[in-house]
Amino acid sequence: MSPRLIGIQNGVIVFVFWLCVGLLLVSDWRIAIPLFAAYLFPISLVVAWRSAKLGCNLAKQCVTVKAYAVEGFLVGFTVCIVFFGLTISNQAFAAGTVLDGADLNDIIKYVLFFALPISVSVGLFGSVQGLLFYHLNRWQLAS
């Protein structure tokens, strides 16, 4: 299997898996599908792009499992930080939200004690997913 196909496959796996997880957590899935798809599509493109690059190195046998874990963590962490960055700007301008009337200390507490721990947790999920992709891709290249 070529590294490009491996990247596409990993992107599709990420899209379908996290779409299913998201749909299990909502009550009205008809409204959630377009929102999840719009959010997950760029994420799966990044995963496909990075997996194709790592797949080339894996085919040359010059990549380690650590590289997959670090890439997974960085993608998960970055996606979560971007998500919180977009939502914090909406919350700062909308009435009646968590950050309505918040001063700088409240925003710092929100970032340090809510957004950052969740982003690290999502990064760890991405790291585990990267480890699984390493073993799957190595097995596919070997066969």
Q: How deeply is 110 buried, as exposed, middle or buried, from its count of CB atoms within 10 A (0-12, 13-18, 19+)?
A: middle
Residue in the block written with tokens 């599908």: 33
- Cβ–Cβ under 8 Å, residues 36 and 80: no
Q: What is the pLDDT of residue 100?
A: 66
The tens digit of pLDDT for each residue in 34-79 reads: 999 999 999 999 999 999 999 999 999 899 999 999 999 999 999 9
Rounded to the nearest 10°, the torsion over CA 82, 85, 86, 87 is: 120
> pLDDT (tens digit, 9 = 90+) per residue, 116-128?
999 999 999 999 9
pLDDT band at 83 (very low <50, low <70, confident <90, very high): confident
pLDDT above 80 for 96:
no
Q: Domain-by-domain residue ranges, the chain?
A: 3-142
